[in-house]
Amino acid sequence: MEILVATAIGFMTAAGVYLTLRKRTFAVVLGMTLLSYATNLFLFVTGRLVIDQPPILQKGVESYTDPLPQALVLTAIVISFGMTAVVVMMALGAFLEGGDDHVDLPATDRREPRPRPAQDEGAR
């Protein structure tokens, strides 16, 4: 079971990273969504894999899974929704304003480092 979960996390991470490295906004958004799945799952399994022992207290049940990673991941899921929403909105705004959905700065906006004048500012 652990092997399956680990490979799933690894594969989703790889897919997420690959898509995040694309040059168009929507692919990046998809990549980040996948990365959040992988990350949430990863954080969750730091509580180790436990089957059929949900952290709901019941009479006569002695062993439960670790509730803390679950609580942390729960908020993480909601926050990643908020993040995805903001990123999508930014992507949409960039497309509407700029007319294309490139992630990178256009070549004209990439400035070379300004050559420093030979004299110091006092002489300027």
Residues in 39-68 that interact with another protein by CB under 8 A: 40-42, 44-58, 64-68
What distance in Å separates the CA atoms of residue 48 and residue 86, rounded to the nearest whole number?
32
The tokens of 78 are what?
Answer: 């909601």
Could you say which residues in the range 21-40 bind another protein, by CB under 8 A?
21-30, 33-34, 37-38, 40
Closer residue to another protein (CB): 3 or 60: 3
Contacts of 83 (CB under 8 A, 6+ apart): 32, 36
SS3 at position 35: helix
Residue 104 lies near another protein (rule: CB under 8 A)? yes
For another protein, the closer CB: 60 or 113: 113
Distance CA 124, CA 117 (A): 9
Q: How far apart are CA 64 and CA 68, in angstroms?
A: 11
Residue 117 binds another protein (CB under 8 A): no
Q: CB 25 → another protein: shortest distance, Å?
A: 8
Number of chain positions touching another protein (CB under 8 A): 95
Place of tokens 């803390």: 68
Smallest distance, another protein to C-beta of residue 60, A: 13
